[in-house]
Amino acid sequence: MIRLIEDVLKRVSTTEIQVISSHTRVTRLNCGIYLFEPLNKTCQRDVIISSGIHGNEAAPIELCERLINLIFEESIVLNQRLLLIVGNPLALIRGERQVDYNLNRLFYGVDNKVENHDSGRFGYEGERVEQVKKAVAAFFTQVDNNERPRYHLDLHCSIRRSHYPFFAIHPYCQDSRVDHDWLYFIEQAGVQATIFSNEATNTFSFFTHTYHHCQSMTVELGHAAPLGRNNLVDLSIVLQQLINLISKTTLLMPATWREYSASQMHFFTVAKTIIKNSAQFEFLFKDDVKNFTIFHKGCSVYKDQQYLECVKDKPVYIVFPNKNVQIGQRAGLLLNRLQ
Ligand SMILES: [Zn+2]
């Protein structure tokens, strides 16, 4: 049996293989990176579930621990290959978002290694991102059937409250290849809003979507509490969908887009990525505004030296406002609602 969080907190990184009742093989590939393989079965999909890309977001890691406990207890049957990743062990140990750099800004393209971007600058996360990317590449190299679907859920949570407690960010795709089955799937996990990203980024979900052809999603799962103090009951609907993803041979999907679009999901597109350009950068609203707070025509949102961002026409919604990022980094997103 693997105790996921204990393992990660001790930074155990040696390769170890365990077999559960001759039907499931579990391999620790590196610190916080585990491969789960059903033995003597034909899989229908390959699944990556990642959590803890930011070290202060413990709830999704606790959720993943619950999931693998169910596998080890044989309460659920693993029918699909699963790569389970805890992204940032050292930041988790420190209870901080990051050690040296935001790990979710380091997933450059396959051939575009961090070394080419002045590796020393990215410190611990610069090394860690290469371990994670290597594990993902190996996971798909070992696939026995390249035709079957691939899924990646990158699970986060946030200190800031949100008008939609569970929401997702769909990575940008050049060909607008958005799979409505996938949207339906995450809605069944309790996700109430989806943001469609408007540009290539360096996030983990963009990386797996673009370079490994996964249906990928960054998912924000409500409010963050420190390790051991998260209420997993609130996440039971998410846990059930994770179980479905790795155990069901068929995922229930809507028959048509028409059937799906009658859903309750709220859709947004990115109107503007807010970049902090100077030390004078400041938001012109209270620190505790919720994600998806609306700003109407004429409202001022932020200022940066001489620049003032004022809503011109359509209302905009703010997510991830953070004035404390480094200069040159993203300080938030402004969204438009899709009708
Ligand atoms: Zn996060």
Q: Give the Å distance between the CA of 69 and the centre of ligand 1.
A: 24
Q: Give the Å distance between the CA of 306 and the centre of ligand 1.
A: 31
Indicate whether 239 and 115 sit together in one domain: yes
Place of tokens 């410190």: 123
**What's the total number of domains in the chain?**
2
Indicate whether 79 and 197 sit together in one domain: yes
Indicate whether 178 and 312 sit together in one domain: no
In a domain? residue 268 = no
Indicate whether 101 and 146 sit together in one domain: yes
Give the residue among 295, 285, 296 at the shortest CA–CA distance from 322.
285
- Inform me whether the pLDDT recorded for 118 exceeds 90: no
- Inform me whether the pLDDT recorded for 148 exceeds 90: yes
Split at pLDDT 50, 70, 90, the class of 229 is: confident
Mean pLDDT of 175-192: 84
Q: Give the Å distance between the CA of 118 and the centre of ligand 1.
A: 24
Our answer to whether residue 220 is catalytic in this structure is yes
Residue 137: give the domain boundaries.
4-261
Indicate whether 304 and 242 sit together in one domain: no
The DSSP annotation for 244-278 comes to: HHHH-SS----SSHHHHHTS--EEEEEEEEEE--S
Please tell me whether the overall predicted TM-score, pTM, comes out greater than 0.85 for this model: yes
